[in-house]
Amino acid sequence: MSYRLLSVDKEEPGLKERNYLGLSDCSSVDSSTIPNVEKSNLNFKATELRLGLPESQSPERETDFGLLSPRTLDEKLLFPLLPCKDNASATTGHKNVVSGNKRGFADTWDEFSGVKGSVRPGGINMMLSPKVKDVPKSIQDERSHAKGGGLNNAPAAKAQVVGWPPIRSYRKNTMASSTSKNTDEVDGKPGLGALFVKVSMDGAPYLRKVDLRTYTSYQQLSSALEKMFSCFTLGQYGLHGAQGRERMSEIKLKDLLHGSEFVLTYEDKDGDWMLVGDVPWEIFTETCQKLKIMKGSDSIGLAPGAVEKSKNKERV
């Protein structure tokens, strides 16, 4: 479940659908070092839209919730979260996105409004949900100019409201990583964000799921998988009776995999098992149905020299 501004009128020039975070609101499982509340906060705050026109006496009591002020829309679209375009749609760690956004957003704010000292270190939350009502006119004008004014008449999209429906973020995160809705669909509907695929590993007792949309390269995927599955390999090395706070993550899967014991493979739409890494990332995400971390010996049949290839890769 991701909080994007949906169904923006495609005919308007200059309008682009923005993924405010480049993240989908999901996978507390995958990036276990990130406090989930923080992510959820980002998602909600980023797409918060108010009911009612700006500077009106009372919020509109519309039964059709979809009607929102065009100004509101304008406000939102002018403050994309990702500070620089070369980050494409996602970054490696959610934490990076947060801190990156903090700086980027602050820069943007200063650039637009010239208001000094307006950035609070208190967190992204405050900055990302300016209420249209409260923004002085001058700033709004500046923003309109900056965006070429093309957005002012955009029809408001039906957007998510912060904190609604009233469900604990813990529950949302857990459900997001449990739901298997997207795994079997050929194309996740564009804009829905999550693309979960199951990941299994030979010898591991259970499956995991990863959201492919949270990665933009094989490198990122493999580091994430590394973190996720490192414990299984470690188990073989006798962690029994370990006392104290020895951290499993200190011994990296990488070191063991340099011995090419494991290779990463995936099942494509045709049901064939292929080695990961042979096709461009974008195509991979579209065709990958399942991932499997196989023992090197099992993967020999996949492609000639497959095992040799994986030896040379920095990561499987």
Partner 1 sequence: MNYFPDEVIEHVFDFVTSHKDRNAISLVCKSWYKIERYSRQKVFIGNCYAINPERLLRRFPCLKSLTLKGKPHFADFNLVPHEWGGFVLPWIEALARSRVGLEELRLKRMVVTDESLELLSRSFVNFKSLVLVSCEGFTTDGLASIAANCRHLRDLDLQENEIDDHRGQWLSCFPDTCTTLVTLNFACLEGETNLVALERLVARSPNLKSLKLNRAVPLDALARLMVCAPQIVDLGVGSYENDPDSESYMKLKAAVKKCTSLRSLSGFLEAAPHCLSAFHPICHNLTSLNLSYAAEIHGSHLIKLIQHCKKLQRLWILDSIGDKGLEVVASTCKELQELRVFPSDLLGGGNTAVTEEGLVAISAGCPKLHSILYFCQQMTNAALVTVAKNCPNFIRFRLCILEPNKPDHVTSQPLDEGFGAIVKACKSLRRLSLSGLLTDQVFLYIGMYANQLEMLSIAFAGDTDKGMLYVLNGCKKMKKLEIRDSPFGDTALLADVSKYETMRSLWMSSCEVTLSGCKKLAQKAPWLNVEIINENDNNRMEENGHEGRQKVDKLYLYRTVVGTRMDAPPFVWIL
State which residue, 93 or 150, has the beta carbon closest to partner 1. 93
- Contacts with partner 1 in 248-277 (CB under 8 A)? 248-249
Residue 37 binds partner 1 (CB under 8 A): yes
- Of 26-34, 71-79, 86-94, 211-219, which part binds partner 1 (CB under 8 A)? 26-34
Binding test (CB under 8 A) with partner 1, winner from 95, 102, 133, 254: 133
123 touches partner 1 by CB under 8 A: yes
Residue 122 engages partner 1 in binding (rule: CB under 8 A): yes
CB of residue 309 to partner 1, shortest distance in Å: 28
190 counts as binding partner 1 under rule CB under 8 A: no
Asked if 114 is part of the footprint of partner 1 (rule: CB under 8 A), the reply reads: no
Instruction: Tell which one of 10, 11, 13, 33 touches partner 1 (CB under 8 A).
Output: 33
Question: By CB under 8 A, is residue 167 in contact with partner 1?
Answer: yes
> Site for partner 1 (CB under 8 A): which residue of 9, 14, 16, 35?
35
> What are the Cα distances from residue 149, in Å, to 50, 55, 71, 146, 182?
21, 20, 11, 7, 37
Q: Name the one range near partner 1 by CB under 8 A: 204-212, 215-223, 277-285, 298-306.
A: 204-212
Binder among 5, 176, 221, 263 for partner 1 (CB under 8 A): 176
Closest CB to partner 1 among residues 13, 166:
166
74 or 306, CB closer to partner 1? 74
Taking CB under 8 A as the rule, does residue 236 contact partner 1?
no
| Contact between 83 and 103 (Cβ < 8 Å) | yes
Rg (CA), the chain: 23
Cα-based distances in Å from 44 to 166, 190, 215: 12, 20, 21
Q: Which is nearer to partner 1, 40 or 260 (CB)?
A: 40
Q: Is 160 in the site for partner 1 (CB under 8 A)?
A: yes
The whole-angstrom separation of Cα 229 and Cα 262 is 11
How far is the C-alpha of 179 from the C-alpha of 211, rounded, in Å? 11
* DSSP letter string, 122-191: T-HHHHH---GGGS-HHHHHHHHHHTTTTTTTPPPP--PPTT-S---HHHHHHHHHH--TTTS-SSPPTT
Q: If 0-12 CB within 10 Å is exposed, 13-18 middle and 19+ buried, where does residue 273 land?
A: middle
β-strands 290-295, 196-201 pairing: parallel
Q: Applying CB under 8 A, which part among 74-82, 171-179, 288-296, 306-314 lies near partner 1?
A: 171-179
If one asks whether residue 199 binds partner 1 (CB under 8 A), the answer comes out as no
Nearer to partner 1, 35 or 149 (CB): 35
Residues 6+ apart with CB under 8 A from 2: 19, 21, 23, 24, 25, 26, 43, 191, 192, 193, 194
Q: Pick from 30, 89, 98: which is nearest to 281 by CA? A: 89
| Binding-residue total with partner 1 (CB under 8 A) | 75
Is residue 40 at the binding interface for partner 1, with CB under 8 A as the rule?
yes
From candidates 134, 270, 282, 314, binder to partner 1 by CB under 8 A: 134
Q: How far apart are CA 272 and CA 270, in angstroms?
A: 6
